[in-house]
Chains A and B, each alone.
Chain A
Amino acid sequence: MVQLSSNFLHVSFFLYLAATILFWVSITGRKFKNKEGIEKNRSGPIGYIVSILAVITSLAYFAIRWYAIGHAPVSNMFEYTTFLGICMALAFVIIYPIYRNNYLGLFTMPVVMLIIAYASMFPREVQPLIPALQSEWLTIHVITVAIGQGILAIGFAGGLLYLIRVIDFTKASNKVKGLEFILFTLLSFVAYILLVIGFSFAEYEAVFNYVDERGNEAVVEYNKPALIGPNEGQLITVNRFDPWISAPAIIRSDDLNTVIWSLLGGLLLYFVLRLIFRKPIGGAIQPLLKNVNPQSVDELSYRAIAIGFPIFTLGGLIFAMIWAQIAWTRFWGWDPKEVWALITFLFYAAYLHLRLSRGWHGEKSAWMCVIGFALIMFNLIFVNLVIAGLHSYAL
């Protein structure tokens, strides 16, 4: 059963890819016209149909896995992150008919693919639920949060689209740098995925003995060459790369090492692309977007955030508080994950209030949509993996 569900996920991944290509064609393809002069380039609507199929297939993965493991598959990094990707696609499928914007498809689908691919880098086997997670609130709270974040992510796609459309890439500026940094970050995720796949294909493995933060002897296994070794680490596996420096004990050195590899990989990809385009990557994308109406994209991303914000609040704060009261005896405990959910809430609240002010529509708004999504990803990845708290369950 679990295998069957994975197959559905694989199929959906390729459908998301197909939808991306179709939206691409709808924008760049020649305007086919038939004898009556009506445009025949139907790849936009077809892309939409394919993305509906992709969502159905990935929901089939979700349902089958749920059935197979006996609880909602949202209990670890792989399951949650995958579902977040699915929710973003779902939100797109709901919003597309309103605005019929193919560019949004071109921006959303690759992000969905990236999120799902990133999710697959975490262990995918079925994990038993620890006592704290055994509750119907796991289903209610997490699924609501994911749907909310998925819709907010559409705001991000819209914001990114807006920025690449309007920023002047011919002159160096902080805006250009900021945008290029966002693209570099996305490329780093791509690099991370490629590196994990590459090194696991090569079956790279280096084992270290080290001293952990409590002063105990421990063992850690690296799956990438160690640029940064563990605290007082000793390489046991022969013929492996000896680290340049070692990390202090409080840092999970293998994760830090992975982050550094991903950033280096991202840099490499970025500079290769820059060499090819001979201009900022955003600037290379911009000509594709010349027919985008900035105001309509601005309204679209505002709309996505106005729709996503209540759902996120309901799931991420209210349902979260109800569950915390039941599981941990108190509805709020200033656990890092809780605090960062609150920060995300406050950030989007600030965004919604700023929309009331003059001069905050358009570009500034778009930057905030992008930063908001960065906060969501920060809470998902950094807070879970680095700032250990009550929410850091099995990965």
Chain B
Amino acid sequence: MENVKCECGHVNPFGTYLCESCGKPLIEDDGQVADMRYEGVARRSQTYKKSIVDKIWNFFSSVKVGIWIIVLLLLASSLGTILPQEMYLPPGERASQFYENEYGTFGKLYYQLGLHDMYTSWWYMALIAALGISLVICSLDRFVPLYRALKTQRITRHTKFLERQKLFAKSGQIENIEESFAQAEEILKKKKYNIRKDNGNILAEKGRFSRWGPYVNHIGLIIFLIGCMLRFFPEMYLDEHIWVRDGEEVVIKGTDGEYFLRNEEFKVVLYDEDDELYRESLERAGAPVVQKFQTSATLLRRTSTNAIGSEPELEEVKHHYIRVNDPLTFGEFALYQVDYKLNELAEFTFTIEAVDEANEEDLSEIEFTVNLYDPEMVYEFENGYRIEIMEYFPNFVINDNREPTTLNRIPDNPRIIFEVFTPEMDPDEDQGEISLVGIQINEELNGENDYRIRMIDVEMRNVTALTIRKDRTIPILSIGGIIFMIGLVQGSYWNHRRIWLQNRDGEIWVAGHANKNWHALKNDFQAITKNTAIPMPIDQTEENLNERSKEIEGVEDNNGSTKQ
């Protein structure tokens, strides 16, 4: 593992292909054109091959391995789109049954292979991690020696380096080379080349910073991937959900009871079917199209830290119309419109009436409203009647033991068991008339009743569903994204061009290299060769190609351009 000393005096690391200083090929190969990738530097991966660390380093330092990881990631990603992912299943569907029921054996297999939730699977994560490692190691392995080589490059290059460039030419003996070089220098300066001179030789260089583009964008990607990883740490990411009824105030989860949200009104606005602009489209759709989902929301903040249980004192912070694409934001939090429910039952208003039509008692005074979210249990009237709620089932079902019960606290199917006491009865001693009341249901539970509870009004409310989001990874992701884009643009929209003009014993040797966009480099050469003694370099790879294609087809080759 010895360093190699070039004849120019520069000491190169073991494995160097082109001397970092003068460019002389240190390892002979048979190509006519030198391989200029990474300036022919020796990379760590090519130098050390012993320990396990070296082996891992060498594995991930290969661009080929990197490309394989990209391709595997690409293929794996596509698998997950064949069937919908678990998170996009219709609400209430269980993945274990859904895939088999919907897609048969293939669906079952898809589920069993874990493809229904593959983007969070360990192997997919491992692939992304491998990509991250590959990014870091590939970049480090190349950046350091490349930086050194571009920094130590000499102006006067070895003849072997020059003649093995893709663009190369040399002239015969010429009298006043200096004059031609001075002209070329002027032209290249106008073209924003950096000119360096040494012994009458010229190195004109332009856009070297674009060589760092890939490394910059890889740094951005790494920061982005780290940001994504932080998501899994506590306190970094909050994903909560609240349902808020019209007029209701609800504590905003994740804010430690500091913030509350009042939903003034939720509404769904539809597009006007008579609107001339959309008429045709709405007719074809055949169904109304929503123009907006909107929660008129007021953000409230607790002003005092009251004892637990007492009503908190709240002050209004701000009002906002929360719509899709227009969340309410405060501090690190954002509230998004994500779902809704129209016309949820809110209140029932009842009266009672005598079953016997002959009974002419005046019961019009008896009218009471039951709040279905939090009903009062006793209703007393001045005329002595008293009505109690014995049981309330907001979402009534009969369970497996054939007992009535409620699914949850949401009044989707409310049933109330009332007990009615007439003025003559003693609520403590006697048993009143019991009935089960719900929408279009009124059953007598203890024999025939004299009084019937009758629903006279129903009030409904809209409910809005909001997602509460706090994502502290966003700033990191943004920085990563911005650096990535800067690097991408830096590497793609600029290119590194070098022109070597050398005076070799009265001959002009000219060579050029571009990391991409040879077309522009050739144009630059055209500019400096037009009115000077400098010969136009020949594209040595093209020459080979032309000779080959002439052999095959025997046709004259030009590029079909309209340039004249």
Chain A contact residues, CB within 8 Å of chain B: 26-27, 38-39, 44-45, 69, 98-103, 123, 125-128, 130-132, 134-135, 137, 213, 250, 290-296, 299-300, 302-303, 306-307, 309-310, 313-314, 318, 321, 325-331, 333-336, 339-340, 342-343, 346-347, 349-350, 353-354, 356-358, 383, 387, 389, 394
Question: B81 to A383, Cβ gap below 8 A?
Answer: yes
What are 6 sample pairs from A and B whose C-beta atoms fall under 8 A apart? A128-B277, A250-B103, A290-B555, A295-B541, A326-B325, A339-B80
How many A-B contacts at CB < 8 Å in the complex?
169
Given A125-B281, A349-B70, 4 more contacts at CB 8 Å? A26-B562, A295-B545, A313-B485, A334-B80
Does any Cβ of A come within 8 Å of B259's Cβ? no
Which of B9-17, B289-297, B346-354, B446-454 contacts its partner? B289-297
Question: A38 to B564, Cβ gap below 8 A?
Answer: yes
Does any Cβ of A come within 8 Å of B437's Cβ? no
A107 to chain B, nearest CB (A): 12
Contacts of A353 in B (CB 8 A): 63, 66-67, 70
Question: B485 to A299, Cβ gap below 8 A?
Answer: no
Question: A343 to B489, Cβ gap below 8 A?
Answer: no
Contacts of A330 in B (CB 8 A): 469
- Which 8 residue pairs are nearest across A and B when measured between Cβ atoms? A293-B559, A131-B324, A44-B562, A125-B280, A336-B81, A291-B560, A135-B325, A346-B74
Does any Cβ of A come within 8 Å of B209's Cβ? no
Closest residue of chain B to A127 (Cβ to Cβ) is B281
**Once bound together, how far apart are the Cα atoms of A69 and B271, in whole Å?**
14
Does any Cβ of A come within 8 Å of B85's Cβ? yes
Contacts of B64 in A (CB 8 A): 357
Contacts of B334 in A (CB 8 A): 329
Question: B325 to A339, Cβ gap below 8 A?
Answer: no
**Once bound together, how far apart are the Cα atoms of A307 and B517, in whole Å?**
11
Does any Cβ of A come within 8 Å of B71's Cβ? yes
Question: B545 to A294, Cβ gap below 8 A?
Answer: yes
Does any Cβ of A come within 8 Å of B77's Cβ? yes
Question: B67 to A130, Cβ gap below 8 A?
Answer: no
Question: A343 to B74, Cβ gap below 8 A?
Answer: yes
Question: A303 to B291, Cβ gap below 8 A?
Answer: no
**Once bound together, how far apart are the Cα atoms of A130 and B64, in whole Å?**
45
Contacts of A135 in B (CB 8 A): 325
Contacts of B541 in A (CB 8 A): 295
Question: A293 to B560, Cβ gap below 8 A?
Answer: yes
Question: A126 to B277, Cβ gap below 8 A?
Answer: yes
Chain B: interface residue count, which band? 35 or more
B306 to chain A, nearest CB (A): 32
Does any Cβ of A come within 8 Å of B42's Cβ? no
Question: A291 to B74, Cβ gap below 8 A?
Answer: no
Contacts of B336 in A (CB 8 A): 328-329
Contacts of B176 in A (CB 8 A): none
Question: B278 to A356, Cβ gap below 8 A?
Answer: no
Contacts of B277 in A (CB 8 A): 69, 126, 128
Interface positions of B from 274 to 290, Cβ below 8 Å from A: 275, 277-278, 280-282, 284-285, 289-290
Assuming the contacts A44-B562, A306-B492, A358-B35, asked whether A339 and B81 have C-beta atoms less than 8 A apart, the reply is yes
Contacts of A38 in B (CB 8 A): 564
Contacts of A294 in B (CB 8 A): 545, 549
Interface positions of B from 291 to 310, Cβ below 8 Å from A: 291-293
Closest residue of chain B to A340 (Cβ to Cβ) is B81
B389 to chain A, nearest CB (A): 39
Assuming the contacts A132-B325, A343-B77, asked whether A302 and B516 have C-beta atoms less than 8 A apart, the reply is yes
Closest residue of chain B to A44 (Cβ to Cβ) is B562
**Once bound together, how far apart are the Cα atoms of A294 and B557, in whole Å?**
10
Question: A45 to B492, Cβ gap below 8 A?
Answer: no
**Once bound together, how far apart are the Cα atoms of A387 and B64, in whole Å?**
32
Contacts of B282 in A (CB 8 A): 128
Question: B561 to A126, Cβ gap below 8 A?
Answer: no
Contacts of B560 in A (CB 8 A): 27, 101-103, 291-293
Contacts of B562 in A (CB 8 A): 26, 44-45, 100, 102
A376 to chain B, nearest CB (A): 14
Interface centre among B73, B78, B290, B474 (most CB of A within 10 A): B78
Question: A291 to B557, Cβ gap below 8 A?
Answer: yes
Assuming the contacts A134-B292, A250-B102, asked whether A126 and B558 have C-beta atoms less than 8 A apart, the reply is no
Question: A356 to B102, Cβ gap below 8 A?
Answer: no
Interface positions of B from 454 to 488, Cβ below 8 Å from A: 467, 469, 471, 474, 477, 481, 485, 488
**Once bound together, how far apart are the Cα atoms of A218 and B553, in whole Å?**
62
Closest residue of chain B to A48 (Cβ to Cβ) is B562
Contacts of A346 in B (CB 8 A): 70-71, 73-74, 77
B267 to chain A, nearest CB (A): 12
Assuming the contacts A69-B277, A128-B281, A358-B35, asked whether A334 and B492 have C-beta atoms less than 8 A apart, the reply is no
**Once bound together, how far apart are the Cα atoms of A325 and B471, in whole Å?**
10
A168 to chain B, nearest CB (A): 9
Question: A101 to B561, Cβ gap below 8 A?
Answer: yes
Question: B481 to A329, Cβ gap below 8 A?
Answer: no
**Once bound together, how far apart are the Cα atoms of A342 and B271, in whole Å?**
34
Interface positions of B from 498 to 548, Cβ below 8 Å from A: 516-519, 539, 541-542, 545
Contacts of B232 in A (CB 8 A): none
Across the interface, B278 reaches (CB within 8 A) one of A126, A290, A349, namely A126
Question: A394 to B285, Cβ gap below 8 A?
Answer: yes
Contacts of A27 in B (CB 8 A): 560
A147 to chain B, nearest CB (A): 14
Question: B564 to A131, Cβ gap below 8 A?
Answer: no
Question: B77 to A356, Cβ gap below 8 A?
Answer: no
**Once bound together, how far apart are the Cα atoms of A295 and B519, in whole Å?**
10
B259 to chain A, nearest CB (A): 18
Question: B291 to A356, Cβ gap below 8 A?
Answer: no
Across the interface, B557 reaches (CB within 8 A) one of A45, A293, A306, namely A293
**Once bound together, how far apart are the Cα atoms of A292 and B70, in whole Å?**
33
B471 to chain A, nearest CB (A): 8
Question: A99 to B519, Cβ gap below 8 A?
Answer: yes
Question: B281 to A394, Cβ gap below 8 A?
Answer: yes
**Once bound together, how far apart are the Cα atoms of A119 and B471, in whole Å?**
39
Contacts of A310 in B (CB 8 A): 485, 488-489, 492-493
Question: A131 to B290, Cβ gap below 8 A?
Answer: yes
**Once bound together, how far apart are the Cα atoms of A329 and B325, in whole Å?**
9
**Once bound together, how far apart are the Cα atoms of A302 and B514, in whole Å?**
14
Interface centre among A27, A45, A357 (most CB of B within 10 A): A357
Closest residue of chain A to B294 (Cβ to Cβ) is A131
Closest residue of chain B to A332 (Cβ to Cβ) is B228
Does any Cβ of A come within 8 Å of B338's Cβ? yes
**Once bound together, how far apart are the Cα atoms of A147 and B539, in whole Å?**
33
Closest residue of chain A to B325 (Cβ to Cβ) is A135
**Once bound together, how far apart are the Cα atoms of A358 and B516, in whole Å?**
14
Across the interface, A307 reaches (CB within 8 A) one of B67, B323, B492, B539, namely B492
Question: A126 to B492, Cβ gap below 8 A?
Answer: no
Contacts of B561 in A (CB 8 A): 99-102
**Once bound together, how far apart are the Cα atoms of A38 and B564, in whole Å?**
8
Closest residue of chain A to B323 (Cβ to Cβ) is A131
Question: A326 to B327, Cβ gap below 8 A?
Answer: yes
A80 to chain B, nearest CB (A): 16
Interface centre among A126, A137, A333 (most CB of B within 10 A): A126
Closest residue of chain A to B66 (Cβ to Cβ) is A353
